[in-house]
Structure 1
Amino acid sequence: INDSAQYDDPETDRFFMRMSFISEEGRGLQELREGLAEVANDFDMSFDIHDVHAKMKVVVMVSRFGHCLNDLLYRWRIGALPIDIVAVISNHLDYQKVVVNHDLPFHHVPVT
């Protein structure tokens, strides 16, 4: 186990746990899912398991302040963020050229 965090939600009376671990050599993701499914079924639990090496698809939303967008795009471009930015959405056209220059789709949603 590399990392573990948990919390409960009193409103729904549910317990949540997020855990990061390295599996034994040779155990695949499907085998882990099947093994956890048996335990989850016995205890009426639900679970999700994800490969940390698979890049998460991300949509970035930006308003008038572009410093965070520029930082995210830079870190994504150099490979420092393990994500796959699939689009940028904004309620302003201010950063459309910046986004298009990164070969990403830009979607304008004029909301105030």
Structure 2
Amino acid sequence: MKTCLVVDDSKVIRKVARHILETLNFTVSEAADGREALNHCMASPPDVVLLDWNMPVMNGMDFLRALRESALPGRPKVVFCTTENGMAHIRAAIEAGADEYVMKPFDRETLESKLQIVGLA
């Protein structure tokens, strides 16, 4: 079964994403910030990370850079999921190693299409 780590400081967003992902047959783990997510990825790399931008402790961009610089075998796909919708933000995320980008609020159809784009749905 495919695995997804949902990284967001909002418990509500994590719950909504978990529900959608489980209907798409993903096994879902959660993290409330980038540091927690990085520790999770080092211990058990997921197939895909659904990543928020603005979080305490370690934000999404810092997490993404740390993940891409790590010696992690197998490279999880990263889908940024955020309210930051400016082209500069999207470009920065892609340049930092994000595979795809989805705007909040999102629905099942949107998330599923992004997962198809990265080859996981």
TM-score (norm 2): 0.36
Higher RCO by CA contacts (8 Å cutoff, separation 6 or greater): 2
Q: Which has more helix, going by share of residues?
A: 2
Higher Cα Rg: structure 1 or 2? 1
